[in-house]
Structure 1
C-alpha cells in the first residue's frame, strides 16, 4: 500500500522538523542546569513552536550570507532578486498560479525581466530559482557548462509519476544509456521513409475534407493530434492505435458533439488522460519541493497515468510475449539480442524488449518518446495553421512554392522539402513565436559562474540551484530579433535579418534545445511537419479561424501590447505548448485545375 504524497513528504522531513524543537529542549535543560532555575512551563510550547520558523529564518539568512561570500570569492554577483510582500514569496507563487490558469503565457516572468533584467532570482517557498532568457546563459546551461547542470532531483521527483526513468527524466550515465539506445531510430534512413506519414495524412485530410463538406468547422488541433499519435505509435510499435478511426470532434454547439461512443473510444480515453497527466505535472512544478502538500492525499498524475497504462500495457505485453516465445523455441538468446545491431524494419519497442523484460522500464521509455514524437509535432502544426489563418499572404506564397515544386498531387520527397526554403522559414517562424517546449529547467550540480554581459559582472550560481529558462520569451526579445520581433514574418529567416541577428548569435533560436541534449527527433519533426503541410495545402487553398466556435481570449487582452493584443486563441503549456480548447478552422478546397 502506497502512502499518500503528503505523508511521504512529512516523513521525509521529520529530521528537519524535529531538530529545532530538540535543540530548544536541550537549551531548556542547559538553562535549568546552568542557572539553577526552571523556566515557566507555559513558555515551553511557544518556544517549541517558534523554533521552526526561527530555524527556517536562520537557514535562509545563512544561505544568503554564504552565497554572497562565494559570489565575491569568484569575482561575481548574485542574480537580482524579485522582491515579495509575503514571506517565502507566497505572493509571487499566487501570481504564478493565477497566470498559469488564466493569464497569457509568460506574462509574469516577462514583467519581472523588464524590471530586474533578463536573469533574475525568483524565490518561491524559500527556494531560489535563477530564471533567465539570456542566450549566453542558456548556452552555458545547455552546452558550454553542460556538465554543471542536470535535470536534477527536484525535477525528477515532480515528473516521475509521468516520465518515470525515461530519457527526459534521467541524468548522467542513465541518460547516456537511454540516448544511445534511441539514437538509431532517428537515423536519416528511418526518418526519410514517408510511408507512415502518407498513410495517416491521407486518412486525416480525407476526414477533414468530409467534415468541412458537412458544413462544420474542424478542431485542427484535435485532428492533428490524432494524426501524430497514429504516426508515432506506428513508428514506435509497428502498428498504430487507430485514434483517427474514432472520427473528428464536432463543435460544442452541435448535438452530434455529445457522442458517448466517441468519448469512450480507447484512443480518446488514452489521449485525454495523457494530457491531464501533463497538465497536473506542470502545475506541481510551480510549488518546487513541497508539491506533495498540494496533492496531500493522492497523486493526481498517477491516477491519469493508470488510465494510460491500461491502454498501452497490452501492446507492450504482446511484444514481451513474442520475445518469450522465440526464446523458448531456441531461436534467440538474451546475449546475442543485446549485442546485435538494429535491423531493418525493427521498431523501438522491438529493440527495447531485447534489452530488458522490465515492463516499467519499457513503458517509461516509450511514453517519453511518445511525448516528444506526438505532442511537440502536433503543437507545431497547430500553430502553423493558426498563423496561416491570420496571414493569408503567407498562405498564398507557401502554396505557390508547394505547387511549383511538387504540383497539386505528387507525394513530396526529402529532396523536395530541402528545396522549399519558404516552407522551412514558415515552420521556423512558428517555432520562434510558439516553441513546442516554451519553458524548461535545469539544476546546478556545482558552483558555477556565468560570464558578464555587456560590461556587467559575472553571475554566481550556487550548487543545487534550479535554473529555469524560457525560449518562448527569448524568441520574442526585440533587442535580439529586432523591433518587429513579435510579428509573424517568415522572411526574417531568409532576408538580411538572418545575418544581422541569428547568424552571429545562434543561441537566440533554440526550439529543439542545444548541446549534448539537443532533440534527437529534430529532423524527424521537420520532415513530418513539412510532409503534412505540403499534403494539406495541395488539398486546400484557404484557411480561416472559425471565430463563431473558437474559444477566444478575454476582451481585455486586446488592450495589451505585443502579441497578446492580437491573439485569437488562448495559448497554454504543460510540458509542451497547446491551444486551450483547440483551434477551430474552416478551409476552402483547392481547384483540381489549379496551377502556378
Structure 2
C-alpha cells in the first residue's frame, strides 16, 4: 500500500466512523419503511442522518457520563471538577491553552484554574475527558502505588511511533518490560562513573566557547550543550560520535557571520545525506515535529495533510544509524562463529549497542532502543545545563559559592573524579534546585487502563474517581513551585533548601513533591548518569570561568521577554529568558551569554 500522510489517514478514519454511524441510523429507518410499507423521500433520509448522528453521539456521551457517575458513587468517590468553557465543546479553552503554550510562560494558563478548582480538574474539550493534576498523592498513584492502572497509552504511542518506535519510552506492558530489561544492565556504576567521554567533549566545548568569546562574541550556551550532550551520548551508546561540536557554533543574529541553523533554532531541509551534522539537525527536527503533535492533541494529523512531518528527518536519522547498527550485528556474529566474546568498539569500551546485539539482532528493535535512550540522554541533560548556567548568571553569589566548592574539592585544573562529585554537596543541591524550578520534562501524561480512584489528600476528603481509558496529564513543573508544598519561598532559587532545615520540613516527609526523574517502576534509568554528566560539565565550566552574564543584545528579537510579563506575580516577572516546551523544556531561540575567562 502506498504511503499516505497522517492527515489523509485521519480523514479517512473519520469518514469511516461517520459512515458507520449513518448506517446505524439508516438501517432501522429502512426497516421501518419496509415494515409499514412506506417510502420516505431522499431528503428525509438525509435529514435523519444529519440530525441523527449528533443525537446518537450525544446519547452515547450521556450514557458514558451516567455510567461513570454511578461507578463513582459505588466507590464512594467524587468526580473531578470540570472546567466549563463558553463555546460548544469548550473549544475556547483549547484555543486559550494553545495560545499560552505557544507564547506564554509554561503552565501560566493553568494557575487561575488551579486557584479556582483545586489541584486536579477536568478540561473536557470536544466532549473528551482530559484530566490534569499537580497533586503529589495523585502523581504517586500514577507512577508507583497504582502503577498497573496507568500506561503511556495508545494516543501517546501513535504520536511518537514514527520517531520512538516501540522503544522503552513509547511502550507498555510486556514490550516495555522487554526494553527495560535490555537496557538496565548497561547503567551500572562502572559505566556511569567512567568520565573519559565527558572529559573529551567537555574540553572541546570549553575550548570552543573560549575561542568565540575571545573574539568578542556571545555564545548560545544551549546550542553548545546540545552539541556536547549529543556527542557524548552517541559515543557512549555506540562508539560513533557525531562530532556536532566540530561543525561550528552559531554567531549571534546581529552578526553578519550568523549561522542559520542550530539545535536551538533548526532550519532543516529533508535529505538522505548521512553525515553527522545532517543527522544532528534531522534528529532535532523529528523531535520538534512530535512535540508539535503532542501540543495539538487528537487532531494533530489534520496539520499534516500533505506529508508526515517526521518522515524526511527520520529518513536521514535512519541512514546514519543503520550502518552503525549493522556493523554491531556483524561484529557479534563474527564473535559467535569464532566462539569467543564479541569485541567492542575501536577504543575498547563496551557500548550499549555491543550489549544489545547480544540479546537481539532485530535492527528495528535496536534502532528504537538506541533512539529512545539517546533522546533521554541528550535533551534532558542539555536542558539542565542550560538552566543551571542561567541560574549562575542570575545569581552571582550562588556562582561564587559553587565555584569556591569546586576550587576546594578539585582545584583549578585537575580533572574531577566520581569521588569528587559525590563529596560536593552544594553542587548536588545546586543541580537539584535547577531541576526543581526548571525540570527537564515539565509536563507528562498517562492513560488510565481501567476505572480507578486517586487517594484522598486529607482525612475529610473522599477518593477522586478516574474513569477508564482517560488521559491524565500531570505537571512536576507546577508541583515543584507550590508554596504549600515547598514553603513561602518556593519561587526563589535557593540551593540551600536541599541542605538546611527546609529539607527535613518539606521534602523528607513527602518525597513525591520532587520528581525530576519520575518515580516508581518507570523511574529514569539514566538518573545517576545525568547527575554525573551535569556535575562534570559544571565543574569544567567553573574551573574555566568565574562570571556569567546574559547577553540580551545577542538574543533574537522575537525571543525576548514580553513587556507584559513584568506585571505578573511570581517568577514570570523576574525571568530574563523565554522558557518553552517541546518534549523537554528549553530556552526559546537559545540562551546567549558571555563568560569571563579565568587566568589559571
User: TM bucket by the smaller chain?
Assistant: over 0.9
Residue in 1 aligned with 2:375?
Answer: 371
Pair 1:331-2:338 in alignment: yes
Does the 8 Å contact 2:387/2:434 carry over to 1? yes
> How far does residue 142 in structure 1 lie from its aligned partner after superposition?
0.3
1:362 is paired with a residue whose SS is helix
CA deviations on 1:16-38 (whole Å, 9 max, x unpaired) are 32233223223322442455543
- Cα distance, 1:370 vs structure 2: 0.4
For residue 588 of structure 1, report the CA deviation from its aligned partner: 0.6
For the Cα contact (< 8 Å) 2:544–2:597, is it kept in 1?
A: yes
Given that 2:445 and 2:472 are in contact with CA atoms closer than 8 Å, whether structure 1 keeps it comes out as yes
Q: Is the 8 A contact 1:93 1:286 kept in 2?
A: no
User: Among 490, 493, 498, which residue is 1:488 paired with?
Assistant: 493
Partner of 2:87: 86
Cα pair 2:262 2:281 within 8 Å, conserved:
no
Match of 2:132, SS state, is strand
Separation in 1 of the partners of 2:319 and 2:93?
A: 39
How many residue pairs get aligned? The number is 584
Unmatched runs of 5 consecutive residues or more in structure 2: 343-347
- Corresponding residue for residue 358 of structure 2: 354
CA distance in 2, matches of 1:291, 1:66: 29
RMSD between superposed Cα atoms in Å? 2.3
Separation of aligned partners in 1, 2:550 and 2:390: 7
Q: For 1:309, which of 311, 318, 329 is the aligned residue?
A: 318
Question: Does structure 2 retain, via aligned residues, the 8 Å contact 1:31–1:38?
Answer: no
Q: Partner of 2:580: helix, strand, or coil?
A: strand
Aligned twin of 1:341: none
Q: Is structure 2 residue 513 aligned with structure 1 residue 508?
A: yes
What is the aligned partner in structure 1 of residue 49 from structure 2?
48
> SS in structure 2 opposite 1:314?
helix
Distance 1:152 1:27 in 2: 36
| Separation in structure 2 between the aligned mates of residue 20 and residue 432 of structure 1, nearest angstrom | 49
Q: Please list the CA deviations of residues 307-346 of structure 1 after superposition, one character each: whole Å capped at 9, or x if unmatched.
A: 322332332233234345555xx2159xx98xxxxxx832
CA distance in 1, matches of 2:89, 2:79: 18
Q: Tell me which of 571, 578, 585 is aligned to 1:570.
A: 578
Instruction: Determine the C-alpha separation between the residues in 2 that align with 1:40 and 1:238.
Output: 72
Q: Secondary structure at the match of 1:363?
A: helix
Q: Is the contact between residue 212 and residue 586 of structure 1 (CA under 8 Å) also seen in structure 2?
A: yes
Structure 2 residue 560 is matched with structure 1 residue 552: yes
Over 3 Å counting, the alpha-carbon distance change for 1:332 and 1:222 in structure 2 is farther
Counterpart of 1:282 in structure 2 is: 291
Q: Deviations over 1:74-102 (max 9, x none)?
A: 11011011112222232122122212221
| 1:455-484 superposed Cα distances (whole Å, 9 cap, x missing partner) | 222111111111110101110111111111
DSSP 3-state at the match of 1:255: coil
Against the structure 1 CA distance between its residues 272 and 110, is the aligned structure 2 distance closer, same or farther, given a 3 Å change threshold?
A: farther
Listed one character per residue, the Cα deviations across residues 346-377 of structure 1 (whole Å, up to 9, x for unaligned) are 21111222333322221111110001111100
Give the 3-state SS of the residue equivalent to 1:58 in structure 2: helix
Please state whether the residue corresponding to 1:429 is helix, strand or coil. Answer: helix
Residue by residue over 1:223-269, the C-alpha shift from the partner in whole angstroms, topping out at 9 and shown as x without a partner, is: 11111111111110123111111122111111222479998994443
How do 1:429-444 and structure 2 match up within 5 A? Answer: 429-444=433-448
- In the TM superposition, residue 424 of structure 1 has moved relative to its aligned partner by 0.7
Using the size of structure 2 for normalisation, the TM-score is 0.93
- Secondary structure of the corresponding residue to residue 253 of structure 1: coil
* Pairing 1:322–2:331 present: yes
Gaps of 5+ in 1: 338-343
The structure 1 residue matched to 2:541, chosen from 528, 536, 540, is 536
- Where does residue 340 of structure 1 map in the other structure? none
Distance across 2 between alignment mates of 1:499 and 1:480: 12
- Give the structure-1-normalised TM-score: 0.93
Q: Does 1:213 align with 2:214?
A: yes
Query: CA shift at 1:390, angstroms?
Result: 0.4
Q: Decide whether the 8 Å contact of 1:9 with 1:293 is kept in 2.
A: yes
